[in-house]
Amino acid sequence: MLCTAERAGSELGTVLVSALMVTALLGTLGAALAFVVTTESAIAANHRAGQQGLYAADAGIERAIGELRSLTTWRTVPGAGESTAIDFNDGAIAPRAADGTVLDLVRLTSRRQNDSNTFYPAAPDRPLWRVFAHASLDRMISGGGNGSSPYVVVWIADDPDDLDGDPSLDSNDVMIVRSEAFGIRGGRRAVEATILRETALDGAAAGGVSRSDVSVIAWREVR
């Protein structure tokens, strides 16, 4: 009887240890699965936010082109141009991105200028960047918004190839537009385009109405 009891106790102990090992293994697998799911969800969310930011930056370029298309001349735009549309230029001195970050437009413009200066050699026609417009994507689309969409800042500069010696004046109907979207999960996406203003005549007969159009010479996402 004693041997049987000892054997039963030993078997019970073995079962208990095995159960504990299985429980620990299942717990580890569960934790690993939860970590993988959380990581994959974060990666998917970051990718989605990055794509949304890219589309927002591109929307800033398109909106700027739309406004520049309506101008009869770009002569003074590099030095004094600014959007007057309240849904594209909200007038905020210290705007907030979707993640709550306060955007210092002066500092951002200074950084944009410094980055540009490292790319373009020192010359009288080196681009001089200025803010053209800034607003949230929701405001650009619907005139309102709840602050959850990317915040878009658009800069413009004169094309350095016009060789007029003055970066505040446009002499060849070519300009550079830079758009950056901020604030989705702390991310930032930027797009830059070189655009050309073209003048055309509506109607083949003399006396047709002169109109302007804009062509994109170059477009690139800036990393």
* Tens-digit pLDDT string for the chain (223 aa): 445 655 555 666 677 777 778 787 777 777 777 666 555 654 544 556 657 889 999 999 999 999 999 898 999 999 998 998 999 999 998 998 888 889 999 999 999 999 999 999 999 999 999 999 999 999 998 877 666 789 999 999 999 998 899 999 999 999 999 999 997 666 889 999 999 998 765 554 445 555 678 999 999 998 8
Give residue 208's pLDDT. Answer: 54
81, with CB counted inside 10 A (0-12, 13-18, 19+), is buried
Question: What is the three-class DSSP state of 204?
Answer: coil
- 121 burial via Cβ count (<10 Å: 0-12, 13-18, 19+): exposed
Q: Note down the domain range covering 99.
A: 33-222
pLDDT of residue 185: 64
> Residue 2: what pLDDT?
45
Domain assignment of residue 107, yes or no: yes
Rounded Cα distance, 75 and 185, in Å: 39
Instruction: Please tell me the total count of domains within the chain.
Output: 1
Q: Which two tokens stand for residue 188?
A: 């930032």
> Is the residue at 8 inside a domain?
no
Per-residue pLDDT, 33: 72
Domain contains 26: no
First-to-final CA distance of the chain: 79
H or E element in which residue 115 lies: helix 105-119
Other Cβ atoms less than 10 A from the Cβ of 85: the count is 14
Does residue 201 form part of some domain?
A: yes
> For residue 11, is it within any domain?
no
Residue 24 lies in a domain: no
Residue 5 lies in a domain: no
Residue 2, domain member (yes or no) = no
